[in-house]
Amino acid sequence: MKTQYVHPRLILGTSSLYRRELFQRLKLPFETANPAIDETPLQDEMPEATALRLAENKAHAVAAMYHDALIITADQVAVMEGIQLGKPLNYANAVKQLRLMRGKEVIFYTALCLLNSRTNRLQTRLVPYSIKFRALSDPQIEHYLSKEQPYHCAGSAKSEGLGIALIEWMKGDDPNALIGLPLIALVDMLLAEGVEII
């Protein structure tokens, strides 16, 4: 008879509903914890480095609360022509961002971190995903924002919602990375920690 496998405690360090919904696809029991860190980019820091640093800082913040768990965190930074695009937080900033991005390519760098807080083993991965936005008119931008308020999304659009209509094309290895949690890379990391998924 096969021995029943016991999963280690899994903690998803996030306050994001979207990341929680993505993680649920793996059908693993998990808890969430809010890392509550300062997410301000450092001066002259490359966007990729910002995403990785913040994902690691989130993991260590959560590990301080959970000493025998696998801590999963992520952070995302959007970049267009060298300009780092943060979360707009309000309507006016979202309009500015979408006007700036129309007809242009934006790269979303999603950093993923898995920290075993018992052994201190740390795995990180940076997963880029590129999007080209349509050449949107001002009325289209305003209409979109009246239907969907993506004010807590880097780049002011949610591809898993109406924001898909703003996109001309998408390129990358894992579409989940764009939403904020690269599940393909995460499965690799969990397997490396001995977590059975299927």
The number of residues making up the chain comes to: 198
Q: Are 89 and 97 in contact (CB under 8 A)?
A: no
Q: What is the DSSP track for 67-122?
A: SSSEEEEEEEEEEETTEEE----SHHHHHHHHHHHTTSEEEEEEEEEEEETTT--E
Percent composition of the chain: helix, strand, coil (DSSP 3-state, to 5)? 35, 25, 40
| 188 is an active site residue | no
Closest CA to 69 of 3, 15, 13, 112: 13
The one catalytic residue among 38, 75, 174, 188 = 75
Angle separating helix axes 183-192 and 17-24, nearest 10 degrees: 60
Name the residues annotated as catalytic.
Answer: 75
